[in-house]
Amino acid sequence: MKFNFFLPQNGTFRYIKLSISEHVMLEQKLTFRIPLCISHEEWDEAKQRPKNIYLKKNKKLNNILDYIKVRITEYINNRSKPISQREISKEIQKICIEKEAINPENSLLYYMQTYINSKRELICDSTYKRYNVFYNLLKRFEGYTTQRLYIDSLNGHFITDFIAFGKKEEYSENTIYRSIHFVKTILNFAERKGIKTCVRELEVRREKSQKTIVTLTEEEIVDIKTAEIPQELEAARDWLLISCYTGQRFSDFMKFKNEKIVTINGRECISFTQQKTQKEITLPLHPTVLNIIKRNGNDFPKLMDIQQYNSAIKTIAKHSKINDLSSVRKRIGHRSKVLNIKKWKAISSHIGRRSFATNFYGKIPTPLLMEATGHSTEKMFLRYINPVDNDRILSLSNYFNDIHNESIMK
């Protein structure tokens, strides 16, 4: 069966039209006016949908168009005799006024929704959002194939079709394969509820993340320390150096205050709870950080918002002549692509955390670094993290001092 969405020739805002043809239950090609309108400038004739399907109003409209294809295909396939235009028109009208799509209980989307809801209180917001991205991607795939996916009939052909869809829509391989692995998770979830699935037929490689990581070398950090910059950038430089020597996220280091500094056996440390993980961290302060605090009148630099900070540290890196080319993934339009750009342009708030882990790796025992950053699985966290383990805190502090003194001697 062939669906064709199009706009009439006249009018500023035009009601979308749909023609349906090439099905045994249809005696002829049928054309309908759908109670949804869009301007000609926003419509993509080739793809038969809004140009920007990520704009809120267009995303909703595109979801309805996809849902119409799925529902009308089911409606026609379930009939045993030719269907009139009036019958299909009534069904389209009904679909368009529904407040939300209804997923049958044996459908993949139903089980995805059930799984996501069951995990809502157990996962962080970023994971919850990622699960919903997978859910919405599978909804779009159903519109692409004009077929609803059912939990008990999903087989190996799904992978071939989904990969073809992902490539056509220019999704990254990482997104495509992570979505497939999430579908496998849902099928396993359904099997635990007693539903037999073809999950073992879904053989797919575990795609490695294509994320490119940009870090500052120790030499570049020295260049940042010594670069001549405008006075208004001094606070951002201090925060950048603090992040490079504490390994924390922007949401954590920007909340550092004097009240969080504690002294353990004569060593000054910062004690706080990470916002994202809720892990309690007690971190000895690197001599560079202590010098920054002293230079700022025994206080941390003035607070900044993340947009202001990200803009400022790019300018600082530019002043520091950090011009080596870096391969980074940048968003262009609605998709990301790998580009070679000067490193200073690629710097963002997370670079200090990455640089900390990279520069100290191999010089400081990995368990101590994991304790400092909070990076760990639950098993590793329980094995290595101890908020009151003063020996570990002092050991990390000694490494900081030794490495700092060696760099001065050089």
What distance in Å separates the CA atoms of residue 229 and residue 357, rounded to the nearest whole number?
26
The reply to whether CATH 1.10.10.10 applies to domain 218-409 is no
What distance in Å separates the CA atoms of residue 367 and residue 364, rounded to the nearest whole number?
8
What distance in Å separates the CA atoms of residue 54 and residue 167, rounded to the nearest whole number?
18
Contacts of 146 (CB under 8 A, 6+ apart): 1, 3, 69, 70, 73
CB 84 within 8 A of CB 20: no
What is the pLDDT tens value at each position of the chain, 410 positions in all?
Answer: 899 999 988 766 789 999 998 877 777 889 999 999 999 999 999 999 999 988 888 999 999 999 999 999 999 988 888 888 899 999 999 999 887 888 999 999 999 999 999 999 988 888 999 999 999 999 999 999 999 999 988 888 999 999 999 999 988 888 899 999 999 999 999 999 999 998 888 877 665 544 567 889 999 999 999 999 999 999 999 999 999 999 999 999 999 999 999 999 999 999 999 998 888 999 999 999 999 999 999 999 999 999 999 999 999 999 999 998 877 766 665 566 677 889 999 899 989 988 888 888 778 777 788 788 886 543 432 333 334 445 567 777 888 888 888 877 76
The reply to whether CATH 1.20.140 applies to domain 103-208 is no
Supply 140's token pair.
């779009």
What distance in Å separates the CA atoms of residue 355 and residue 390, rounded to the nearest whole number?
25
Residue 200 per-residue DSSP state: G
Contacts of 198 (CB under 8 A, 6+ apart): 152, 153, 154, 155, 156, 187
**pLDDT at position 276, please?**
85
pTM of the complete model beyond 0.75? no
**pLDDT at position 212, please?**
63
Question: What does 306-321 look like in DSSP terms, one character per residue?
Answer: HHHHHHHHHHHHHHTT
What distance in Å separates the CA atoms of residue 237 and residue 242, rounded to the nearest whole number?
9
Q: Where are the domains of the chain?
A: 1-101, 103-208, 218-409
| Nearest CA among 280, 272, 266, 285 for reference residue 399 | 285
Q: Quick one: which H or E segment has residue 180?
A: helix 173-192
Q: How many CB atoms lie within 10 A of CB 275?
A: 13
What distance in Å separates the CA atoms of residue 393 and residue 389, rounded to the nearest whole number?
7
CA 340 to chain centre: 22
Supply 296's token pair.
């700022």
Tokens 């999430």 belong to which residue? 182
CB 324 within 8 A of CB 343: yes
**pLDDT at position 367, please?**
76
What distance in Å separates the CA atoms of residue 396 and residue 289, rounded to the nearest whole number?
15
